[in-house]
C-alpha cells in the first residue's frame, strides 16, 4: 500500500501543472458547496436568535410574515399600527409576564430607529436567552437621548456624547430630517449578531416629540417647536407598530392567540414567531434548492474536468503504465493506482476548499455582518460538514474509476509500441 501511495504521489507530482487546474476547480466547488450550507444555517440561526423568549408578536391584522419581518428584523414594507389603548389592555392582562412596545418609521442614515421603553432592555433576549448588555454608557432617560447598536457605532463612528438627527421615513431615501431636535448618544449596546446591532433606540415619547407640528408625514410650513417647549405637550403615544409578548404560562399561548384574533375593539393578530419563521423557510426553500443545485453543478464540473484531464493524460502515460505492467503489476493494480490518484486529488481539493472558505469567511466577517446581518462561522460544524466532504471524496473516487477502467484495458504492447 505504501508503494502504491508513493507511486500515486510521484505520478501526480510529475503532472502537477495539469492537475493544479483541476485542484483549483475542485477546491472552488467545495468552498461554494460548504459556503451555501453555512450561509443557510447562519441565516436560520440569526433569525431564531433574534426572537429568543418571545411567545407572541401582536400587531394590526394583516400578513403574519410581514409583521414578523418588519417589527423584528426591520425588513419589508411597513405594517399597520395598533392603537395605544389596545396596547395598554394587552399590557394589563394578568396572563402577560411582559409586553414590549415597538414603534418604527424613522431612520438615521439608512439605519432604522426604534421607539420603545425600558422593558425592551429588561426583557428582550437573543440567542440562548442572553440579555442585552451595554458596551458603554447607559440607557436613555431623558427625552432626546438615544442608545445605538454596535454596528451603527462602528459604521458611523459615533461615541458617547455625539449628537445626531433622525429622519422621517425608512432607508437611505428618508423624506425629511428632524435636525431641529437632535439626539445625544448616551449608550452603545454590545454586539448581538441580530438586527439590534443596526438599530437606534429612543423612547416612545421622543418619537412623539419630533413629530409635533407634522401632518400627513410632512412638517407644517412655518411651524417649528423648540426643544425647550416640547415637554409642555402631551407626548403620550397614540399608536405603536407592534408588541412583543412574553407569557406567564406558555401553555395558554393558543388560547390568547385566538382571543386576540377575536379582539372586539380593533382588528389584531397574534403571531407565533416559530410558525411565521417556518413559513419564511418554506418560501425560501426554492432559493435554497437552487443554490444547492448550482453548487452541485459546479462540483460535477470540477469532477468532470478531473476525469477529462486524467483520461486525456492516459496517452502520455502509456509508457509509464506499460513499465508497471512489465514488472508484474496487474490490471487491479492499475485500477487501484488511478483510483488512489483520484481520491488523493479529491482529498486535496476538499481540504483546500475548506481552508479557502474559512479564510474568506474570516476576511469578510465584518462585511457580512454589516451588509447582510449574517455571522458566518470561519470553521463550520465538523459533524454537519463531514458528510459533505465525505460525499465529495466518494464522488471523486467514483469519477476516477472511469479513466482507471480505460487504463486497465491498455495492453503491454499498447504502451511499448511507438505512435506514428
pLDDT of residue 391: 80
pLDDT at 222 over 70: no
Q: Give yes or no: residues 42 and 72 share one domain.
A: no
Q: Do residues 14 and 95 both lie within one domain? A: no
Last residue of a domain, one of 271, 297, 313: 271
Look at residue 420 and tell me whether its pLDDT is greater than 50. Answer: no
Q: Are 400 and 54 in contact (CB under 8 A)?
A: no
Q: Convert the pLDDT of each residue in 141-162 to its tens digit.
A: 999 999 999 999 999 999 999 9
Cell of 151: 454596528
Q: Does the pLDDT of residue 117 top 90, yes or no?
A: yes
Residue identified by cell 414590549 is 100
pLDDT, greater one: 35 or 215:
35
Please indicate, yes or no, if residue 412 is contained in any of the structural domains. yes
Tell me, yes or no, whether 261 lies in a domain. Answer: yes
Return d(Cα 404, Cα 184) in angstroms, integer.
Answer: 72
323: confidence class by pLDDT, cuts 50, 70, 90: low
Taking the alpha carbons of 394, 399, 402, 405 in that order, is the dihedral positive or negative?
negative
- The domain tally of the chain equals 2
Q: What is the mean pLDDT of residues 28-50?
A: 78
214 and 65 in one domain?
Answer: yes
**Which helix (H) or strand (E) is 239 found in, with range?**
strand 239-240
d(CA 185, CA 158): 8
Same domain, 182 and 69: yes
Is there a domain that residue 276 lies in? no
Structural domain ending residue among the three candidates 271, 304, 332: 271
366-390: average pLDDT: 68
Q: What is the pLDDT of residue 319?
A: 58
Q: What are phi and psi of 383, to 5 degrees?
A: -65, -45
Q: Tens of pLDDT along 272-286?
A: 988 888 888 787 777
Q: Tell me: the pLDDT tens digits for 67-108?
A: 998 998 888 777 789 999 999 999 999 999 999 999 998 899
How far is CA 225 from each of CA 38, 113, 179, 211, 234, rounded to the nearest angstrom? 51, 21, 12, 10, 13
The pLDDT assigned to 157 comes to 93
Q: Are residues 119 and 245 in the same domain?
A: yes
Cell, residue 279:
413559513
Domain boundary among 220, 238, 271: 271
Please tell me the predicted confidence (pLDDT) of residue 342. Answer: 75
The whole-number average pLDDT for the span 374-379 is: 66
156 with 101, same domain: the answer is: yes
Q: Does residue 278 form part of some domain? A: no
**Is 225 in the same domain as 177?**
yes
Is residue 117 located within the same domain as residue 35?
no
- In this structure, the answer to whether residues 31 and 141 fall within a common structural domain is no
- Based on the fold, state whether residues 118 and 220 are members of the same structural domain: yes
Residues 289 and 246 in one domain: no
The DSSP symbol for 144 reads T
Q: Measured between alpha carbons, how far is 341 from 11 in angstroms, rounded to an integer? A: 8
Higher pLDDT residue, 313 or 24?
Answer: 24
pLDDT of residue 111: 92
Domain boundaries, position 181: 56-271
- Tell me: the pLDDT tens digits for 176-217? 677 778 899 999 999 888 889 999 999 999 988 887 765 555
Average predicted confidence (pLDDT) for the chain: 79
pTM of the entire predicted model: 0.71
- What would the 3-class secondary structure string for 320-343 be? HHHHHHHCCCCHHHHHHHHHHHHH
What does the alpha-carbon distance between residue 98 and residue 316 come to, in Å, rounded to a whole number? 76
Question: Is the same domain home to 25 and 69?
Answer: no
Amino acid at each position: 500500500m505504501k508503494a502504491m501511495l508513493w507511486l500515486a504521489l510521484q505520478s501526480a507530482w510529475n503532472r502537477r501543472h495539469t492537475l493544479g487546474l483541476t485542484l483549483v476547480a475542485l477546491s472552488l466547488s467545495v468552498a461554494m458547496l460548504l459556503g451555501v450550507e453555512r450561509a443557510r444555517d447562519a441565516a436560520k440561526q440569526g433569525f431564531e436568535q433574534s426572537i429568543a423568549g418571545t411567545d407572541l408578536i401582536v400587531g394590526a391584522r394583516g400578513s403574519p410574515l410581514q409583521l414578523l419581518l418588519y417589527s423584528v428584523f426591520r425588513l419589508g414594507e411597513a405594517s399597520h399600527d395598533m392603537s395605544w389603548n389596545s396596547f395598554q389592555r394587552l399590557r394589563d392582562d394578568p396572563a402577560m409576564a411582559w409586553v414590549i412596545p415597538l414603534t418604527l418609521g424613522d431612520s438615521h442614515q439608512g439605519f432604522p430607529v426604534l421607539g420603545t421603553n425600558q422593558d425592551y432592555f429588561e426583557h428582550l433576549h437573543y440567542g440562548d436567552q442572553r440579555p442585552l448588555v451595554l458596551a458603554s454608557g447607559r440607557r436613555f432617560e431623558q427625552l432626546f437621548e438615544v442608545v445605538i447598536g454596535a454596528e451603527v457605532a462602528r459604521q458611523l463612528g459615533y461615541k458617547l456624547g455625539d449628537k445626531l438627527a433622525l429622519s422621517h421615513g425608512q432607508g437611505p431615501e428618508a423624506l425629511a430630517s428632524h435636525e431641529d431636535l437632535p439626539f445625544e448618544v448616551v449608550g452603545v449596546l454590545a454586539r448581538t449578531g441580530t438586527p439590534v446591532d443596526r438599530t437606534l433606540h429612543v423612547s416612545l415619547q421622543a418619537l412623539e416629540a419630533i413629530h409635533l407640528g407634522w401632518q400627513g408625514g410632512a412638517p407644517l410650513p412655518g411651524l417649528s417647536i423648540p426643544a425647550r417647549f416640547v415637554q409642555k405637550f402631551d407626548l403620550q403615544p397614540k399608536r405603536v407598530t407592534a408588541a412583543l409578548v412574553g407569557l406567564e404560562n406558555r401553555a395558554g399561548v393558543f388560547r390568547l392567540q385566538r382571543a386576540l384574533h377575536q379582539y372586539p375593539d380593533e382588528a389584531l393578530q397574534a403571531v407565533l414567531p416559530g410558525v411565521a419563521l417556518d413559513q419564511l423557510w418554506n418560501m425560501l426553500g426554492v432559493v435554497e434548492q437552487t443554490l444547492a443545485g448550482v453548487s452541485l453543478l459546479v462540483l460535477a464540473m470540477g469532477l468532470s474536468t478531473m476525469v477529462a484531464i486524467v483520461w486525456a493524460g492516459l496517452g502520455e502515460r502509456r509508457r509509464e503504465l506499460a513499465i508497471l505492467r512489465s514488472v508484474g503489476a496487474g490490471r487491479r493494480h492499475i485500477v487501484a493506482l488511478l483510483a488512489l490518484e483520484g481520491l488523493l486529488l479529491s482529498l486535496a481539493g476538499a481540504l483546500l476548499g475548506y481552508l479557502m472558505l474559512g479564510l474568506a469567511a474570516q476576511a469578510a466577517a465584518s462585511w457580512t455582518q454589516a451588509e447582510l446581518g449574517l455571522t458566518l462561522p470561519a470553521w463550520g460544524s465538523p459533524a454537519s460538514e463531514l458528510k459533505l466532504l465525505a460525499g465529495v471524496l466518494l464522488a471523486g473516487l467514483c469519477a476516477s474509476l472511469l479513466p482507471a477502467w480505460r487504463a486497465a484495458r491498455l495492453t503491454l504492447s499498447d504502451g511499448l509500441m511507438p505512435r506514428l
